[in-house]
Structure 1
């Protein structure tokens, strides 16, 4: 059985980039860390919340790269002179990626009680009606 792609449908024109985004999202390597929630806060807005206990604002980087929201965390190893009898809280780095649709913009990011909140908003697309004149050939 062959894999169906958006190119398999002749009436779906110009969706090649969407297909590439879906493939990239599937290969993004998002593991289970850190855990996150995505909630719809209104008809046109969303909030992504990541549990980033132990990270401070300086340890985190939020970027938008080629329609992907990328959130990275890297903690410095601050155990100079400290002797751990048990170390269950690892200083581990992470990278979370979220593919953004057209018209979705990243708003503000807020740290609160070990949670990183990133707000997104979606602009309403304008309805465009275009009439195409037919020329004699």
Structure 2
């Protein structure tokens, strides 16, 4: 199952047959959006508000462990593990119900111009 999402500071949009549809900001997805952007942007101050941070390794191979501070986040997550080097490579969400989600970021590149198709996809 493939789904395309556009995550920006304005919120999360999901692409369907008619184009990009914004998801409701009142949903749990809005908080996930904020956290996801903080992770990908390396916004440690944003993450420290909600989590205890433990960093190990060096710039070439590091691991950041996030342990929830707030009661709300503690109800959802036991821990979030983020692995990376120059860029984030893996995000693991360990949920309180025993489920886990792993996001693997393969073939990441930065500072590359967007293709015409990508520019179209990200246009708002």
Same fold (TM over 0.5): no
Choose between structure 1 and 2: higher helix proportion: 2
Choose between structure 1 and 2: higher strand proportion: 2
TM-score by length of 2: 0.25
Higher relative contact order (CA 8 A, sep 6+): 1
